[in-house]
Structure 1
Amino acid sequence: MGQHATENLGLSPHWISKSSNFWYRNELPQGGFEFIFVDTSTNSRRRAFDHQDAARKLQQLTNKTTNAESLPFSWIQPAPDALHVRFRAHGKAWTFTSDGLLEECHDAPDEGVPNLLDGEVPSPASDTQVHITFVNHDTGPLTLEWIDFEGNPVFYGDIDIGEERSQRTYVGHVWRLTDASGAVKAVYAAPEHNNAVVIDGGTMQELVVAAEESRTPKRQATSFPRVTIHNYNVWVAFSDGENRQITTNGNRERPYDQRRVYISPDKKHLVAWQYTPQQERIVTFVESSPKDQVQPKLKQIQYLKPGDRVRVDRPRIFSLDTRSEISTDDSLFKTPYHLESVGWSIDSKEYRFLYNERGHQMLRIIGISLGGTVRTLVEESSKSFIDYSSKTYRQVLNETDELIWASERDGWNHLYLYDLTKGALQNQITKGEWLVRSVEKVDAEARRIWFRGFRMVPGQDPYYAHLARVNFDGTGLKILTEGNGTHTWKWSPGERQFTDTWSRIDQPPTSVLRDAETGAAVLTLEESNTTAKPPAEIFVSPGRDGKTPIHGIIIRPSNFDPTKKYPILEDVYAGPQDFFTPKAYSNLTSYREWADRGYIVVKLDGMGTNWRSKAFHDVCYKNLKDAGFPDRVAWIQAAAKTRPWMDTTRVGIKGGSAGGQNAMGALLFHGDFYKAAVADSGCHDNRMDKIWWNEQWMGWPVDQAYEDSSNVVHAGRLRGALMLIVGELDDNVDPASTLQVVNALNGADKDYELLFVPGGGHGAGSSRYGRRRQADFFERHLGGVK
């Protein structure tokens, strides 16, 4: 469950090997791009080479039209002094010197890690945002698709010849580009930094050799003792040739796990995990219209739902000297949702693991000693939920046997330092009515932490990210970034400097080079283009309690006329795992498409979403139907009071996945305000959806709260116009969730529209046809500009 939106590509430095200098690709305000070289010894910047001369000579040698502002390559390899630069263009490698000589070279330029894949794989879960620019230098238009978490393509738009598209995405997420015939031209996995990729006729071919080399297995050195699982039990091979079975209690119902074997550093003890497998929960799909045959196909997947039996792990400790188990008590970890290994202490005296109790109200770091004593080293508890899926952080400092730990125990997500030898808290590291979003790096020797923080600067949007550092003892807190906007940064190889880019949705990016120790700006790299028209307006207004600020944006049509009345369309996604209103400068392509159809489009984050205070987040607990709607309604009404062109009598709402649940819920629980809704691939009953997401927010065991938040149970309350969209092969949210809503609506004698998509996966409504049907629906039920 997640959302994407297009955004402006931020600055991404590429540090030059054996040098503190770097280059980057700069997007020009009038379109196109340039390559900039930065000399950190003089704190100066310049073009990396003569673009006009290089374009002219490249065109002469290749007979292919070449534009100096849109060169047919996105990566260069400058010399440390930039006296020459290498690049790849039109299937060949080139060297261009500072005195204007362009010639083909035999050594291909080092293009870093291009992240081109030789085949599609599902996108991994990730919450680290990056920005990618796709540049089309192929022979025809390209279609851009995101490969979702189940391996299904989701359409994102077309890129014409010679054009480029900036895309916000997440680290590791996979993108496919195909031509008009459907041939795959590139498969790309987003790297850990902002980047650009040029797609031409040779993009995929250049991959083959590197891909084959990467798949060549590496020889592993044999080490002893060597542990294997045979017939469900643990066997250990020793260096003297002895191979001994050391367990006899493993069986099909309770086997040992080969992937969960941990030998102590001194090689004298072993921990092996025995487990009871999860229950079988099969979700069945019928593919009605397969492309390769006339008859339908059956597809089945394993898919745990709330209340199902999860895998239960049981760590057991063994002495390798006696070849026997050391007895332990499991009362401190008897009801797990999930366990994770933390590892052995450096002195081999204790094995540690993380215990996440079922229901997500208890987290523990547990230690097992060589004598079998089991103790709690760290314990975290909550009356609502512990946000294990977003905020769990631990960093073991082996040399001092300490642990850096994240907790919301004081109402804000902060860092704490624990003494693991004593199993006791030493001190709280960060403190205040702000929060730690993520830890960037830890210097154990200097006893310092660098982290990404939210709400750190008074008067700024609480979701704006800043880089800060602090000492282990909580002293020396310093914010290293400056500028009223959300910040991204990239460290130099020696971490003595970093680039800092910040922007707001109403202000284009500014980028500077900063000193890593003081945070002082030593060189301005790119300044904000203040003449650019903001793509959206930022609006802040109190929520349901009359005091908590709710932050959102308002997007007007390009041909906006303040003398007219416009219907309002809210794009909703209230999943508690994150916040969803764009903060960085963005072209907001998907929102702009709807605004230009004649709507005032709004996007905001109400209570119950993430990365504010714990109290703000807890509103969602056992209450997903809330979805922040009291805040959303108050926010829209407040905006309309000073914007007479916003027509609050015609408010529509659209969303997909968890947003689909929210969109339909708007008509069930707030049908006096919302008049029309489109729910795409909705999770309409949390008992029907994936276990991890729903038990995280709705709790365990499954109780009345699940029924209270169910769109199926409350279908009879429907007011307004509803359109449901579902793909028959959606293996993210069980399609039966939507069809159970359909059944309940039929039983309640309610009118609605249903778009059922044969072969469609999650987000089936994002196709061209799906978007056109949604547009027709809202035009009929909300009307146009008046």
Structure 2
Amino acid sequence: MKTQNKIFIIFLLSVAFLDMVYSQNVPRQLMKEFPSWINEKGERPHPDAKILENGLFTHIAPVTELYSDSNKKFAGTRDGKLYLRNQTTDSIKILLEPDHDWYWSMSNAMWSPNGIYLASKQIDDSKVPEIEIIKSNPKETIKKKYSRAGDALPEHRFYVINVKTGDKVEVKRNENLPYIHLLQWSNDSQELYFLMSDRLLKEVLLISVDAKTGKETILLSETSDTYLIGLDLLQGYSKRLIDSKQVVFLEDRNQFTWMSERNGYNQIYLYDDLGNLVRPLTTFSENRIVISIVEIDKLNDWIYFKAHANKNDPYEIQLFRTNLNNPGIEKITDASGILDVFFQESKDTLWLFRSQLPKTLQIERYAIDGRYIDTPWQVDSSIISDNQLNHEYEWVMAADGTTQLQSLILKPMDFDPNRKYPVVEYIYGASFNNVVVRDLLNNWLWDMNKLVQEGIIVVFIDGRGTSERGKKFQDYSYGKFGQIELQDHIGALKQLGKKRPYMDLNRVGVFGHSWGGHFALRALLEAPEFYKAGHINAAALDPIDFRIAIEPFMGCLPDECPEKYKKSAISNKLNRLKAPLMIVHGTYDDDVPIDDSYKLVSQLEKLNYNNYEFVVYDGADHIVMRDRNWLPQMIKFFITKLK
């Protein structure tokens, strides 16, 4: 669950893990000879660390042993027990046994800087339901704990462990704040900092904990009528939460920074170490919406941050800086297509990574005040020429008649304005993800472009309820998931088609993956006169059966607001289905279990509906697009059903 242009380093690491065998390998080809020092900025496990368990999902990096540079030891788990291992041996020493029904986990564990303490947690998931997923090689059925909306959550308890004595101190946990993330240790190894949240993400606490006593101090408390921060607060996303720099501790100043949307738009605030607000560091009037903190130059007290500052193009990114000592905002860059910014350790230059359709993909080096120096790297233009893009962006009006929405249209390279082309909309629909592609490294861009070259126009639309345009825009569908979003999409397509007679709106298809698969199926059911074919990947069906990630966006649990979940359901509308449908799912998917698709197929059979195909990828996880058959099958489906 990602946001475009956020933490580019995550992309680099995912390239290594997923190997990018789908999307025609284009993103990987484009990144040839990319500067190695930028690749090395990402935190990787120690090369000798052993894999302990899968990550949150099978398609993300696994949990490994944790290494301490100070004591030259690895910490790990085996059979629920916590152990230590010397760097030079494979033999382990059991440090702690788990409590009954609990097990130790290295997920979000951290060594103290001095190597004396290890912060780790025990987990009790005995009350959490299970799903079954199936690997293909070897053929094996695996049970995995999985919480759907309203289900029991695993309980997490953090401890500070003295690895010399084996003594442990429990970090006291508020039962009303089940989500807990260890952010970092203090430099002197005396304190730890945690972020905690309630289940619906409406209350967040930032606390410090004394390593020796476990005594906690609340540094900051923030509440909201809707959700705060987003999915990174859920269990399993600690690394992303830390990388987002939601909190940055400035120990030498006895201060910390905090990002908040409390005034409607994300800004950075400065606090002292007692939790008193010192002052806002950024303001909407000067920099509009802050995306993220890029770098903190502690020697000169500068904070560099990315922001959407152009009111005429709310998705444009520029780099700004502000000083911790003196109010004022400085705009550093004035360049299009900024994807990310990197600093070398010296902080004397900044490296601008620009990626923009159709051909811009390069790194430019600038002086710290924004003066251009050179372009050390740019993409091999021959790769782009082999995968040309014929695209245009257009602003359209939302269903309210006043809010502008951005769309992207992909057309065939041999486009003929006198022809009539069928149209496919790529949809996702959730508030934590935008779909309009603005950079060349987006995998969906190249998948959809392959479809486009077969004579089908593809359209991406960021409707209300998506991210990076402020809290009001993002919360448009809060508590009404699925009930109102399609109005913007259908209206946008009609506006685009009215100006482009070559777009045949009598032949409109829709494609979606994961939550997007839910919205694609919803489109077929709620607007059967408009959407004439649908391809759904690893799709979730009814929100009441979604993973717990749906809860913050509904604003309540199913037993608290059954009518809301009922209004957002779509299985009760399957009798409206008229269009041909392709259902695709992998048997090893532990993000959206294949049982959801089996349930859909069973309901279609009960309705005697047979205009569908069900494609099961044996052993495939949530990223079914990695199967070499996926792309040609998707293309063939839309060619057959729309052309």
Instruction: Pick the structure with greater CA Rg.
Output: 1
Change in 2 beyond 3 A, CA 1:631/1:217: closer
1:257 deviates by 7.3
Which residue number in structure 2 is paired with residue 379 of structure 1? 221
Which residue number in structure 1 is paired with residue 204 of structure 2? 363
1:354 deviates by 1.5
Match for 1:701 among 534, 553, 557? 557
Which residue number in structure 1 is paired with residue 343 of structure 2? 491
Match for 1:571 among 408, 426, 433? 426
1:694 maps to amino acid: I
1:411 is the counterpart of 2:293: no
1:540 deviates by 1.0
Greater Cα shift, 343-352 or 463-472? 343-352
1:432 is the counterpart of 2:284: yes
Which residue number in structure 2 is paired with residue 10 of structure 1? none
The C-alpha deviation readout for 1:148-201, integer Å capped at 9, x for no partner, is 5xx9x863337xxxxxx444999xxxx9xxxxxxxxxxxx99978479xxxxxx
Which residue number in structure 1 is paired with residue 145 of structure 2? 302
1:580 is the counterpart of 2:411: no
Match for 2:130 among 233, 258, 282? 282
Q: Is the CA contact (8 Å cut-off) linking 2:407 and 2:462 kept in structure 1?
A: yes
1:541 deviates by 1.2
Change in 2 beyond 3 A, CA 1:339/1:566: same
Q: Is the CA contact (8 Å cut-off) linking 2:447 and 2:631 kept in structure 1?
A: no
1:682 deviates by 0.6
Structure 1: where are the runs of 5+ without partners? Answer: 6-124, 133-143, 159-164, 176-187, 196-209, 235-246
1:733 maps to amino acid: V
Partner Cα distance (2:36, 2:605) in 1: 47
1:281 maps to amino acid: P
Which residue number in structure 2 is paired with residue 639 of structure 1? 496
What RMSD in Å do the two structures reach over aligned CA positions?
4.9
Change in 2 beyond 3 A, CA 1:611/1:278: farther
Higher relative contact order (CA 8 A, sep 6+): 2
Change in 2 beyond 3 A, CA 1:486/1:317: closer
Change in 2 beyond 3 A, CA 1:735/1:429: same
Which residue number in structure 2 is paired with residue 252 of structure 1? 100
Given the two structures, how large is their TM-score scaled by the length of structure 2? 0.76
Change in 2 beyond 3 A, CA 1:680/1:232: closer
Partner Cα distance (1:758, 1:262) in 2: 37
1:512 deviates by 4.2
User: How do 1:110-509 and structure 2 match up within 5 A?
Assistant: 128=9, 148=18, 155-157=22-24, 165-167=26-28, 193=38, 251-253=99-101, 276-277=124-125, 279-285=127-133, 290=136, 297-314=140-157, 333-342=174-183, 352-367=193-208, 374-390=216-232, 393-420=246-273, 422-432=274-284, 434-453=288-307, 455-459=308-312, 461-472=313-324, 475-502=327-354, 504-506=356-358, 508-509=360-361
Which residue number in structure 2 is paired with residue 520 of structure 1? 371
User: Identity of counterpart residues, as a percentage?
Assistant: 22
- Secondary structure class of the residue paired with 1:436: strand
Which residue number in structure 2 is paired with residue 97 of structure 1? none
1:378 maps to amino acid: L
Given the two structures, how large is their TM-score scaled by the length of structure 1? 0.63
Which residue number in structure 2 is paired with residue 107 of structure 1? none
Change in 2 beyond 3 A, CA 1:612/1:268: same
Q: How many correspondences in the alignment?
A: 587
Partner Cα distance (2:577, 2:616) in 1: 23
- Secondary structure class of the residue paired with 2:454: coil
1:263 deviates by 9.8
1:309 maps to amino acid: A
Which residue number in structure 2 is paired with residue 553 of structure 1? 408
1:755 is the counterpart of 2:614: yes
Which residue number in structure 2 is paired with residue 23 of structure 1? none
1:683 is the counterpart of 2:540: yes
Change in 2 beyond 3 A, CA 1:721/1:231: closer
Partner Cα distance (1:368, 1:217) in 2: 21
1:311 maps to amino acid: P
1:586 deviates by 7.0
Partner Cα distance (1:741, 1:729) in 2: 18
1:736 is the counterpart of 2:595: yes
Which residue number in structure 1 is paired with residue 241 of structure 2? none
Partner Cα distance (1:145, 1:218) in 2: 24
Q: Is the CA contact (8 Å cut-off) linking 2:3 and 2:434 kept in structure 1?
A: no
1:399 maps to amino acid: D
Q: Is the CA contact (8 Å cut-off) linking 2:183 and 2:193 kept in structure 1?
A: yes
Structure 2: where are the runs of 5+ without partners? Answer: 41-45, 52-64, 84-95, 233-243
Q: Is the CA contact (8 Å cut-off) linking 1:505 and 1:586 kept in structure 2?
A: no
Q: Is the CA contact (8 Å cut-off) linking 2:199 and 2:552 kept in structure 1?
A: no
Q: Is the CA contact (8 Å cut-off) linking 1:654 and 1:677 kept in structure 2?
A: yes
The C-alpha deviation readout for 1:239-266, integer Å capped at 9, x for no partner, is xxxxxxxx99x84146787889999999
1:272 deviates by 8.1
1:616 is the counterpart of 2:473: yes
Partner Cα distance (1:539, 1:709) in 2: 30
Change in 2 beyond 3 A, CA 1:552/1:336: same
Q: Is the CA contact (8 Å cut-off) linking 2:2 and 2:432 kept in structure 1?
A: no
Which residue number in structure 2 is paired with residue 244 of structure 1? none
Change in 2 beyond 3 A, CA 1:259/1:569: closer
Change in 2 beyond 3 A, CA 1:625/1:270: closer
The C-alpha deviation readout for 1:192-224, integer Å capped at 9, x for no partner, is 8479xxxxxxxxxxxxxx978999998977699
1:432 deviates by 0.2
Which residue number in structure 2 is paired with residue 207 of structure 1? none
- Secondary structure class of the residue paired with 1:452: strand
- Secondary structure class of the residue paired with 2:268: strand
User: How do 1:25-174 and structure 2 match up within 5 A?
Assistant: 128=9, 148=18, 155-157=22-24, 165-167=26-28
Which residue number in structure 2 is paired with residue 11 of structure 1? none
- Secondary structure class of the residue paired with 1:411: coil
Partner Cα distance (1:506, 1:222) in 2: 50
The C-alpha deviation readout for 1:525-570, integer Å capped at 9, x for no partner, is 78999x9886311111121222222112111122211112211111
1:417 deviates by 0.9
- Secondary structure class of the residue paired with 2:148: coil
Change in 2 beyond 3 A, CA 1:396/1:770: closer
- Secondary structure class of the residue paired with 1:157: helix
Change in 2 beyond 3 A, CA 1:726/1:190: farther
Change in 2 beyond 3 A, CA 1:664/1:299: same
Which residue number in structure 2 is paired with residue 70 of structure 1? none
1:411 deviates by 0.9
Q: Is the CA contact (8 Å cut-off) linking 2:70 and 2:115 kept in structure 1?
A: no
**Greater percentage in helix:** 2
Change in 2 beyond 3 A, CA 1:126/1:733: farther
Partner Cα distance (1:168, 1:731) in 2: 29
Greater Cα shift, 340-349 or 585-594? 340-349
2:290 maps to amino acid: V
Q: Is the CA contact (8 Å cut-off) linking 1:233 and 1:251 kept in structure 2?
A: no
1:464 deviates by 2.4
Change in 2 beyond 3 A, CA 1:494/1:743: same
- Secondary structure class of the residue paired with 2:23: strand
Q: Is the CA contact (8 Å cut-off) linking 1:414 and 1:431 kept in structure 2?
A: yes
Which residue number in structure 1 is paired with residue 92 of structure 2? none
